[in-house]
Structure 1
Amino acid sequence: MQSYEQQGNIIFHGDSVNVLRNHISSASVDLIFIDPPYNIGKKFGDFHDQWDSEEEYINWSYQWLNECIRILKPNGTLYLMTSTQAMPYFDIYVRKELTILSRIVWHYDSSGVQAKKYFGSMYEPILHCVKNKNDYTFNADDIKVEAKTGSQRKLIDYRKSVPTPYNTEKVPGNAWYFPRVRYRMEEYENHPTQKPESLLERIILASSNQDSLILDPFAGTFTTAAVAKQLGRKTISIELQKEYLKIGLRRVFGWQEYEGERLLSPDKNHKIRNKHGKNIECEFRQGSIFDANITS
């Protein structure tokens, strides 16, 4: 296990259970975002995300989950993602120690080969949990989105004593649409399950404040830490794979070199050809971090 620290941000290179158990104090973290291996057979560097049985995977998961609950502050918040198949185990287990405020569905656009003999998966579930349902952070004004009833349809609520236009903004519901990270997007890193910055920004803005301490025990592309740093939060990230550690050192610390190796972001080819073979010049951008757009 190695650790690196810079300006209130800490990166641990090591096993998550070990780091959580031996290097992070109880009741010390304001917000935890957990996006663990899903046990669905993906390759992450030298690690194969496949346990011998579902029982082994769940027992391993409960180890890091217990540690995350231990280190969460009494007024802290925890977000937990996993596969649709495994979520029932987590949902039932978490209720013993935490209050589940919301069961969020992150849905996204389709890509690649889709299922032909059943309905293919186009969402991932997220639990929004707190230790104390009467004392936790939720910054509703920081995450409001357009309310189409008021802003676009301009409907009037005639149920009130004085007819009033519907609000033009609202707190998002529990069904979130954010595009998945694609190869040509500005934020893309070489990782099979990278989560979008827009998703993490909503979570961090909603459930933490300036100088809050945020933990990501399975850092991957370090999106949690990168977005949290931009928003003035402090972070702890844990990553086992050296390949992804280097992403964190570059993305969070701004390092340009590690152990004699230059740390470079992926080279993204922005040239697209139409059906006639002609190049189309496209600009991929992320205007608001809340959305991902493409203009041509």
Structure 2
Amino acid sequence: MFQKKVLFLNELKYRGKMTKIYKGTHMVPLNILQNHCNNKQEIFILKSKYMIEKIKESMGEPYYEKEGFVLYNENCIDFLARMDKASIELDLTVTSPPYNIGKEYEEIISIDAYVKWCIQWIDLIYKNTKDNGSFWLNVGYLEISDIAKAIPIPYLLWDKVDFFLMQEIVWNYAAGVSAKKFFSPRNEKFLFYVKNQNTYTFNLDDVRDPNVKYPNQKKNGKLKCNPLGKNPTDVWQFPKVTSGSSRSSKERTAHPAQFPLSVIDRVIKVSSNEFDLVFDPFSGSGTTGIAAHGNYRFYLGTEIKQEYCDLTIERFERYLFEKKKSNDTLF
């Protein structure tokens, strides 16, 4: 005879459809629950309940939580230090820290202090990342008076962390400020890091360009290219999220440094799998979270500014509404 509460690994609370044998229990194996799900969305919701409870048990109550999306309003270093003592492991981190160039959401500090600060939170991310996990860091340029106009921040960081640097990705966004005495800047960099260079997630087929197949090019009578499309290379062409009364992007929010969803969508698809945990320590307007959720990944974010947490919540709720209305993702 079964007890009122049955404990298993990967268990979660469930009140809903269930086989008769487990009808009187509150805790059941996750794989049993999945057998009663009609589609991927139901599995995602079930697994997210377990994931959220696990996060809350170790990290405390979040500022916001909803079906696979958890947001904390706090300093990422404090949060990551607590996580280091918990049993939560990250599959993928995607983030863009303040560039230390005086934007409205940041305070300018010395270059040495900025680099040390970056190393501090990156080291904590490394400790909390799975062995096959990845870390994508978007950073731009900074200026040092009388020395340089535009120093690429990657030059200051790339060799000062424990992650293995796989590649630098150039994001060419095609639009921006005009210049008269130097070339107009039109790119930012992503540093693609992995924890273990011999085993890491890389789903190339999920991000191939289907519009570039070169079907008539053959070698020894065989097609030279992959039928799914071309490898997108290390130079990515995605438009920037623009502002302005006449040219504002549809996804524009009040955040001054907003990622386009299309860029982060590619990162998440290539460097994580469905039901993986994606983290962004500088959540900002919530772009990473929406891209993760839209691809059936769980999202964990921290954001030190409450106003941006509120912005993220409003944006995520709007995304859920649109998703429900169209019965599809935003992508």
| Fold shared per TM-score above 0.5 | yes
Q: CA deviation at 1:6?
A: 2.3
Q: Does 1:125 align with 2:186?
A: no
Secondary structure at 1:55 match in 2: helix
| Among candidates 75, 91, 109, match of residue 174 of structure 2 | 109
Amino acid at match of 1:87: P
For these two proteins, the number of residue pairs brought into alignment is 247
Q: What is the aligned partner in structure 1 of residue 221 from structure 2?
A: 162
Q: CA deviation at 1:15?
A: 0.8
Q: Does 1:248 align with 2:312?
A: yes
Whether the aligned pair in 2 keeps the contact of 1:249 and 1:255 (CA below 8 Å) is: no
| Among candidates 82, 89, 93, match of residue 32 of structure 1 | 93
TM superposition score normalised by structure 2: 0.69
Q: What is the aligned partner in structure 1 of residue 209 from structure 2?
A: 145
More strand by share: 1
Cα displacement string for residues 91-144 of structure 1 (whole angstroms, at most 9, x for unaligned residues): 1213xx2222221000112234x2222223211111111111121111111111
TM superposition score normalised by structure 1: 0.76
Q: CA deviation at 1:188?
A: 1.2
Q: CA deviation at 1:208?
A: 0.8
Q: What is the aligned partner in structure 2 of residue 198 from structure 1?
A: 262
Q: Percent identity?
A: 31
Amino acid at match of 1:161: N
Secondary structure at 1:176 match in 2: strand
Q: CA deviation at 1:161?
A: 2.7
Q: CA deviation at 1:288?
A: 8.1
**Structure 1 unaligned blocks of 5 or more:** 257-286, 290-296
Q: What is the aligned partner in structure 2 of residue 277 from structure 1?
A: none
More helix by share: 2
Q: Rg bigger for which structure?
A: 2
Q: Does 1:83 align with 2:144?
A: no
Q: 1:50 to 1:75 in 2, by over 3 A?
A: same
Whether the aligned pair in 2 keeps the contact of 1:20 and 1:67 (CA below 8 Å) is: yes
Cα displacement string for residues 7-58 of structure 1 (whole angstroms, at most 9, x for unaligned residues): 23210101111111124536600000121000111002xxx3411x111111
1:26 and 1:101 map into 2 onto residues whose CA distance is 27
Whether the aligned pair in 1 keeps the contact of 2:290 and 2:319 (CA below 8 Å) is: no
Q: 1:165 to 1:208 in 2, by over 3 A?
A: closer
Amino acid at match of 2:134: T
Higher relative contact order (CA 8 A, sep 6+): 1
| Among candidates 195, 201, 212, match of residue 276 of structure 2 | 212
Secondary structure at 1:75 match in 2: strand
Secondary structure at 1:145 match in 2: coil
2:173 and 2:80 map into 1 onto residues whose CA distance is 31
Q: 1:87 to 1:255 in 2, by over 3 A?
A: closer
Whether the aligned pair in 2 keeps the contact of 1:180 and 1:195 (CA below 8 Å) is: yes
**Structure 2 unaligned blocks of 5 or more:** 1-59, 142-151, 321-328
Q: What is the aligned partner in structure 1 of residue 108 from structure 2?
A: 50
Q: What is the aligned partner in structure 2 of residue 260 from structure 1?
A: none
Q: What is the aligned partner in structure 2 of residue 262 from structure 1?
A: none
Whether the aligned pair in 1 keeps the contact of 2:174 and 2:186 (CA below 8 Å) is: yes
Secondary structure at 1:252 match in 2: helix
2:70 and 2:258 map into 1 onto residues whose CA distance is 20
Q: What is the aligned partner in structure 2 of residue 180 from structure 1?
A: 240
Q: 1:234 to 1:167 in 2, by over 3 A?
A: closer
1:163 and 1:13 map into 2 onto residues whose CA distance is 55
Q: What is the aligned partner in structure 2 of residue 264 from structure 1?
A: none
- Map 1:204-283 → 2, pairs under 5 A: 204-253=268-317
Whether the aligned pair in 2 keeps the contact of 1:229 and 1:252 (CA below 8 Å) is: no
Whether the aligned pair in 2 keeps the contact of 1:6 and 1:253 (CA below 8 Å) is: no
CA RMSD of aligned residues (A): 2.4
Q: What is the aligned partner in structure 1 of residue 160 from structure 2?
A: 93
Whether the aligned pair in 1 keeps the contact of 2:319 and 2:330 (CA below 8 Å) is: no
1:171 and 1:255 map into 2 onto residues whose CA distance is 30
